[in-house]
């Protein structure tokens, strides 16, 4: 629970975000998420290799 607002902005999956995209679009989306992670805007979690990546608001999401 980040600032008590997690329920308003639930985590979502990279797979669901990229469904229907080309490989190039999916790669660009993944790169964008890495930039947002570096800026602490989102938190990424992947339970293991080749598994889906979950995306949730990070510490700076609300600032």
Within a domain: 1 = no
Count how many domains the chain has: 1
pLDDT score of 52: 97
- Using pLDDT thresholds of 50, 70 and 90, give the confidence band for residue 9: low
Within a domain: 48 = yes
Within a domain: 63 = no
Position 36 pLDDT exceeds 70: yes
Render 1-63 in DSSP notation, one character per residue.
--TT-GGGS--EEHHHHHTT--HHHHHHHHHHHHHHHHTTSEEEE-SSTTSPPEEEE-TTTT-
What's the mean per-residue pLDDT of the chain? 90
Reported pTM? 0.80
Q: Which residues share a beta bridge with 42?
A: 57
pLDDT tens digits, 12-25: 999 999 999 999 99
Within a domain: 33 = yes
């Amino acid at each position: 629970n980040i600032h008590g607002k997690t329920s308003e902005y639930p985590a979502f999956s990279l797979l669901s975000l990229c469904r229907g995209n080309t490989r190039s679009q999916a790669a660009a989306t993944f790169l964008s998420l890495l930039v947002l992670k570096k800026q602490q805007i989102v938190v990424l979690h992947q339970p293991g290799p080749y598994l889906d990546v979950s995306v949730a608001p990070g510490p700076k999401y609300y600032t």
